[in-house]
Amino acid sequence: MKKVLAALLALCIVVLPATGYAAAAAFALNISAKEVLRGGEITFSGTAEDDVVLKIIRPNRTTFYMDVIEPANGTYTATITIPETQDFAPWGVYNVTATSGSTTVNKTFSVVEGSGGGSNPGNGGTVTPPASTIPADAGDSTGSTIKPELGKDGYLFGSGTLASAANSAQGSITVELPAATGETGSALNFPAETLKTLKDKNLDLIVTSGSSTIRFPAGSIGTSDTSASSQVRIVVNTVLTSDAKNAVNQALQSNPDYVSTGIVLTATIQVINGSSVTEIHNLDKPAEVALKLTDEQAKQIHSGLAGVYYVNGKQLDYVGGKLEGNTFKFNARHFSTYTILEYSKTFVDVPAGHWAEAAVKSLSAKHIVSGVDQQHYAPNRNITRAEFATMMMRAVDYTGKAADAAAANPFKDVPAGQYYTDAVTRAASLGMMSGYGGSFRPNDPITREEAVVTLVRTVKYFEVKDTGKGAPAFADKKQISAWASAAVDQAWKLGLIEGDGKQFHPKAALTRAEIAVMINRLMP
């Protein structure tokens, strides 16, 4: 009897997997070789029940390969050929990340140099350690322009080459990379000690790479490591890689009012000392970036709605920028992934054909005005002095012509920590707005004549031309305060105001629709 029960129990154990209760195969990643030559093949395989996302990152931190592999009968495999060129397959260690379900496995392999090439990875290849220093005479200089030379791990120039260019420089040194490097994500390497030379001589560093130009102001790349053995590595990529595309698409899922143009710029800056790699994310001074678009790209962009955004996970941080001819220019205080998006915001209470529609849509795209909620702009609502100051400072900041105004808060009724505190304080320090005997009255509705005085004071930051019109003939001109009269006349001649055709209504409260139209008339 005991033998029968034992046999039945064994039968149950054997049968259970067929009923779906067996444990799923553990996710695993195998790599066919630790080293591979350019031109050779390497295979990735393992066990998995769910799709496998395989991602490979080059030594310069750009994406080398990314794919989704569907397993068959619990196993998966993928074989790739390593390109034979330095630009596409630089020497060094490649990081492999494989994800299936909630499990992620990380491994590495190396692309090495050696004789024979071929498709037999790992045989005959030997890792050559990188030079601890870049030769002083690496690269060539003509005047203040440097053309770096191709090394084992990207393009490079030496300290002597930079010193030679510095002798001819007037304000900046330009490093010209081959046009293709912007599309392949090739690295630019140079001695970290040259950063001190640039700062001491107050020279900007301009890096051109195909369709992109980045101007780093003197002293903007801050690092305490400027030793002779340290190197700076800059990698710029303007191709919409699968990695960049996924990042943009993920952000757009939670921001349906945005439309992608497919134009991106991904940049990284690192300081390397031996095996130590330090990422420099933030710049001490903003860099000036110019992206040259193709004729087709420029035609497809609505310049009034387009802007540059930092892709911050699922969040989009507006950076600004504007299209000048076929070149989109913007300033970057840190580097990661940036993209050009169009923001076409509509509000149910500002329908098509509304007299303020164009202004509200244009200023929404520049993030100067926003709705009271996702669906409503409230065009007829009065605007407070605090709200007005905030919008005006956003408009001035958009031009990039106003220096940061660090000044003490002069108003006793503008507490610290309010959304408008910084805007009001800066507007006062720039002479744009003033108060009433030490008070600002932030929650009071701003009148039309008060608003016009501020508009005229900010004209210097914009490109507004005189219309040639004579003095306005408002029937209520005598009701305009003496301190606002000249500003009203000037605003009329500049085309910033129109009134209702007969009267100006100087003491009337300004509405959210009116301020949008007024500011939009200031904008270039």
Which neighbouring-strand residues pair with 94? Answer: 109
Tokens of 173: 């040194």
CB contact at 8 A, 510 and 516: no
Single-letter amino acid, residue 313: G
The region of weakest confidence among 226-230, 317-321, 481-485, 487-491 is 226-230
SS (H, E, C) 200-250: HCCCEEEEEECCEEEEECCCCCCCCCCCCCCEEEEEEECCCCHHHHHHHHH
Q: Helices then strands (H, E): number in the chain?
A: 12, 25
pLDDT tens-digit readout, 79-103: 998 887 766 787 788 889 998 888 8
pLDDT at 3 over 50: no
**More confident position, 487 or 92:** 487
Sign (positive or negative) of CA dihedral 294, 299, 300, 302: positive
Per-residue pLDDT, 223:
79
Q: What is the pTM of this model?
A: 0.70
What structural domains and CATH numbers belong to the chain?
30-112 (2.60.40.1930), 140-343 (no CATH), 357-522 (no CATH)
Q: What is the pLDDT of residues 344-353, one digit of tens each?
A: 999 999 999 9
* pLDDT(166) > 90: yes
Per-residue model confidence (pLDDT) at position 19: 40
State how far the Cα of 382 lies from the Cα of 220, in Å rounded to an integer.
43
Angle between helices 512-522 and 385-399 (to 10 degrees): 20
Segment 25-38 mean pLDDT: 88
Cα–Cα distance, 455 to 487 (Å, whole number): 8
In the prediction, which pLDDT does 191 show?
93
| 117: pLDDT strictly greater than 60 | no
pLDDT at 2 over 60: no
Could you tell me which residue, 404 or 326, shows the higher pLDDT?
Answer: 326
Q: Which of 214-228, 248-262, 302-316, 422-436 has the highest mean pLDDT?
A: 422-436
Mean pLDDT for the chain overall: 85
Across the range 488-502, mean pLDDT stands at 85
